[in-house]
Amino acid sequence: MKNFQIIRALSSRTAVTNISKEKEAMFIAGGTNLVDLMKKNVVAPDKLIDINGLDLKKIEFLKGKVSIGALAKNSQVAEDATIKEKHPLLSLALAAGASQQIRHMATVGGNMLQKTRCSYYYNTDMPCNKRTPKSGCGAIGGSNRMHAVFGASDSCIAVHPSDMCIALAALDAQVLVEGPKGKRQIKFTDFHRLPGNTPEKDNNLEAKELITAIEIPDHNFTKNIHYLKVRDRTSYAFALVSVAAALDLKNNVIKDVRLAMGGVAHKPWRLTEAEEFLKGKTVSEEIFRQAGDLAMKGARTYGGNDFKITLGANTITEALIIAASK
Amino acid sequence: MASKKNNPKEVTENDSNSRRDFIKKSGLFTALAFTPPSLVMASENKWDEKIAEYLETVPLSIEVNGKKHNLNIEPRTTLLDLLREQLQLTGTKKGCDHGQCGACTVHVNGTRILSCLTLASMQQNAQVTTIEGLSNGKKLHPMQEAFIKHDGFQCGYCTPGQIMSGIACIKEGHANSREEIREYMSGNICRCGAYHNIVDAITEVKEGGKEL
């Protein structure tokens, strides 16, 4: 690892001011992804701004919403009693990610900013447009079993790796950020980007902006919810596909529904068409099967990941069946 | 054959040595002519290197197994490397060094974390417990006893991480069934496949109800 300078920021204002002065400076919170990337020389900042001293760790239940500080740990949020009660989908998704040791270290803000686990991105001997723009994409025509089936481009077919973010996309969360120009809010589903011609940009944060919190509006998805993650081993592996399913049922009729998918795109993939299809219908396996097939329409595969179309449809169906039966 | 003249390697070395010496000496004389005497002395004592080394380090106060340490470390030093290389606490193991195996699991302020993905420079005033800090004199920790009793290992390389994680698993309240133990121990890989016995050991300690 290249050596670097490290400073501790005492307020979000000084953190942002400090990072603005440096070209190759980065914020560091949990470090579970960044330290690994630095060891592999995928990123090599000159300066790290340690933001762990900032007062951004609280989970606050406010009128009509919950505010979760960007430095709240993944395990802290997953195991918070009120989060479990009011936002069980988020709790389930968080518990499905990484291992308990990593969840104790990783923060909410850092989770949102973690990089893809595409092996070409991590191997500096390989071409990767995300790591080195215009060097090519190793995964197209290469080993792409883990890769995207929605919204990819000729530049990049990597997928977003987070589980937490799939639940947050389904729950219509908002991202609060602070930068040199002040504070602003970004809709969660607009936070991450599709690769297009600029796969080096994972999200719509502007230079030197800091995530300070996420907010989830209150909702009725507290009972019939499920996060189903399909992976190569039972635990501690990234998703091949995952589905966050939330149903608001009345007498077995679907009043409202949220569906989002992980492991299939460069960002958390909200299944709005399938949601619209399900609204107002009566719960049945057949209806869920049709929603799964509908959601996977328009998927494009790359050889190694052809199986994701069938797996995706089945996972959506299964997640909805489990959610409805709770 | 043995004469110096016929040995091309030695002749070249001699030539290059003398050339290098000449460049070094003439460079030194030029430098001396333009350098204040204090800096010449600094250079002779390698102070510049010492100063550079100092400028590249950060001070760190850290408590490991109850013992306080005041250190100067490079910012890039991981907690794992600090423990193993600077404090000679080699019980904590380096497996993958990339957060995938759990062999480096230690407790920081009572919470289990991966020391390979933790920068030591971010652990100011932290209290760290490693496998060396578990036993009470010669009396082993209940989890250490249970691992021996249930044969919770074969080669033993992952064992310090498994034991640190197993203790935390119980303290966190995630050892209520074999399934829950397996899920919350999934960050600790055992290539010998001693999982069944590891779950036995953790279950016994949990059911024993001793304060850990």
Per-residue pLDDT tens digits for A298-307:
999 999 999 9
pLDDT of residue B34: 56
Answer whether residue B147 is part of any domain.
yes
Nearest CB among B56, B76, B117 relative to A105 is that of B117
pLDDT of residue B11: 37
- B11 or A110: which leads in pLDDT: A110
Chain A residues in contact with B186 (beta carbon < 8 A): 99, 234-236
Answer whether residue B67 is part of any domain.
no
For residue range A285-322, what is the model confidence (pLDDT) as tens digits?
Answer: 999 999 999 999 999 999 999 999 999 999 999 999 99
Whether residues A3 and B174 touch (CB distance < 8 A) is answered with no
CA of A288 vs chain B CAs: smallest distance (Å): 29
Q: Which of B35, B54, B73 is the last residue of a domain?
A: B54
Residue type, A118: C
pLDDT of residue B211: 87
Nearest CB among A48, A98, A104 relative to B111 is that of A104
A42 touches B at CB < 8 Å: no
Integer CA distances (angstroms), A122 to A28, A115, A162, A174, B92, in order? 19, 10, 17, 30, 26
Whether residues A3 and B75 touch (CB distance < 8 A) is answered with yes
For residue range A41-93, what is the model confidence (pLDDT) as tens digits?
Answer: 999 999 999 999 999 999 999 999 999 999 999 999 999 999 999 999 999 99
pLDDT of residue B71: 96
Whether residues A104 and B113 touch (CB distance < 8 A) is answered with yes
For residue range B53-68, what is the model confidence (pLDDT) as tens digits?
Answer: 666 899 999 999 999 9
Residue B187's domain is classified under what CATH number? 1.10.150.120
Chain A residues in contact with B182 (beta carbon < 8 A): 234-235
Judged against a pLDDT cut of 60, whether residue A221 lies above it is answered with yes
Which residues of chain B are modeled with pLDDT < 70? 1-55
A57 touches B at CB < 8 Å: no
CA of B206 vs chain A CAs: smallest distance (Å): 18
Chain A residues in contact with B92 (beta carbon < 8 A): none
Judged against a pLDDT cut of 90, whether residue A272 lies above it is answered with yes
Answer whether residue B112 is part of any domain.
no
Answer whether residue B203 is part of any domain.
yes
A36 touches B at CB < 8 Å: yes
Chain B residues in contact with A3 (beta carbon < 8 A): 56, 74-76
Whether residues B102 and A48 touch (CB distance < 8 A) is answered with no
Nearest CB among A5, A39, A105 relative to B75 is that of A5
Query: What's the DSSP call for residue B193?
Result: -
pLDDT of residue A170: 98
Chain A residues in contact with B188 (beta carbon < 8 A): 99
pLDDT of residue B12: 38
Whether residues A35 and B75 touch (CB distance < 8 A) is answered with no
Whether residues B98 and A39 touch (CB distance < 8 A) is answered with yes
pLDDT of residue B6: 41
- Structural domain including B172 reads 135-212
Nearest CA in chain B to A40: B98
SS3 per residue for chain A: CCCCEEEECCCHHHHHHHHHHCCCEEEECCCCCHHHHHHCCCCCCCEEEECCCCCCCCEEEECCEEEEECCCEHHHHHCCHHHHHHCHHHHHHHHHCCCHHHHHHCEHHHHHHCCCCCHHHHCCCCCECCCCCCCCECCCCCCCCCCCCCCCCCCCCCCCCCCHHHHHHHCCCEEEEEECCEEEEEEHHHHECCCCCCCCCCECCCCCCEEEEEEEECCCCCCEEEEEEECCCCCCCCCCEEEEEEEEEECCEEEEEEEEEECCCCCCEECHHHHHHHCCCECCHHHHHHHHHHHCCCCCCCCCCCCHHHHHHHHHHHHHHHHHCC
Whether residues B121 and A104 touch (CB distance < 8 A) is answered with no
Burial level of B67, CB count in 10 A (0-12/13-18/19+)?
A: exposed
Domains and CATH numbers, chain A: 5-53 (3.30.43.10), 224-324 (3.30.390.50)
Chain A residues in contact with B78 (beta carbon < 8 A): 35
Whether residues B187 and A28 touch (CB distance < 8 A) is answered with no
Whether residues B117 and A4 touch (CB distance < 8 A) is answered with no
Answer whether residue B95 is part of any domain.
no
- The proportion of chain A whose per-residue pLDDT surpasses 90, expressed as a percent, equals 94
Chain B residues in contact with A50 (beta carbon < 8 A): 121-122
Q: Radius of gyration over alpha carbons of chain B, in Å?
A: 27
Chain A residues in contact with B76 (beta carbon < 8 A): 1-4, 38
Answer whether residue B11 is part of any domain.
yes
pLDDT of residue B53: 63
For residue range B151-195, what is the model confidence (pLDDT) as tens digits?
Answer: 999 999 999 999 999 999 999 999 999 999 999 999 999 999 999
Answer whether residue B140 is part of any domain.
yes
A38 touches B at CB < 8 Å: yes
What is the number of structural domains in chain B?
Answer: 2
pLDDT of residue B114: 98
pLDDT of residue A207: 87
Whether residues A104 and B117 touch (CB distance < 8 A) is answered with no
A92 touches B at CB < 8 Å: no
Answer whether residue B91 is part of any domain.
no
Q: Which of B38, B54, B70 is the last residue of a domain?
A: B54
pLDDT of residue B9: 39
The count of CB pairs under 8 A between chains A and B is: 79
